[in-house]
Amino acid sequence: MIPRPFRRSLKTDSIATLYGAIVAQARSPTFYIGFGVPDTVEGRFDLIVLHLVLVLRRLGGAGQRGADLGQRLFDAFCRDLDGNLREMGVGDLAVPKRMRRFGEAFYGRQAAYVAALAAEDPQDFEKALARNILLAEGIDNRAARLSRYARAAARQLDAQNDAELFDGSTDFPDPEAFADARA
């Protein structure tokens, strides 16, 4: 028998699977080529945050179990950021300061995205995405397309069965379908 500290729980596997799906989706070349997201550390961070916020928003509506899973998912995100900073050579003394800035950025974006998704005016979400991800002052067709993609992802997550999500299964829309300016 494997001692308890060395066994992986299904919940841990679910967290790794969900977080892996978020990161894989955020790394889709379509976002950088078709949507014009800067292919930088910041651009990649912002796409991970967008997808994480969408999943956390969905989990927040799934009762206490969803909230617990969401917290563990956020913790995995923080561990990943910490590890990436250290891999990039950021010193031990500077990591907490950088993590604090990442945390502030995450919470600011989360508040902006959740409020904008719920707003009456669809341009609120476009403006938030343009400002935070596309680094644009105003709305352009890239922000409109990214907004349509993110709203479709939110709808798809909302329609997903809780049990599937708790098991780590999530399915984001294909960003390619939204990358065309006519989409």
* Per-residue model confidence (pLDDT) at position 1: 47
Task: Please name which of 75, 57, 8, 71 lies closest in space to residue 155, comparing C-alpha atoms.
Answer: 57
Q: Is the pTM of this model over 0.75?
A: yes
Question: How many CB atoms neighbour CB 32 within 10 A?
Answer: 16
Maximum Cα–Cα distance for the chain, whole Å? Answer: 59
* Per-residue model confidence (pLDDT) at position 17: 92
CA angle at 85 for the pair 32 and 57, rounded to the nearest 5°: 60
156 half-sphere exposure, CB direction, 13 A CA radius: 16
Q: 36 with 178: CB under 8 angstroms?
A: no
* Per-residue model confidence (pLDDT) at position 81: 76
* Per-residue model confidence (pLDDT) at position 104: 85
Distance CA 16, CA 24 (A): 12
Which helix (H) or strand (E) segment holds residue 183: the answer is none
* Per-residue model confidence (pLDDT) at position 70: 93
CA angle at 121 for the pair 115 and 127, rounded to the nearest 5°: 70
Confidence class for position 148, pLDDT limits 50, 70, 90: very high
The per-residue DSSP string of 118-182 comes to HSSSTHHHHHHHHHHTS--SS--HHHHHHHHHHHHHHHHHHHS-HHHHHTT---PPPTHHHHSTT
Please provide the average confidence, as pLDDT, over all residues in the chain.
86
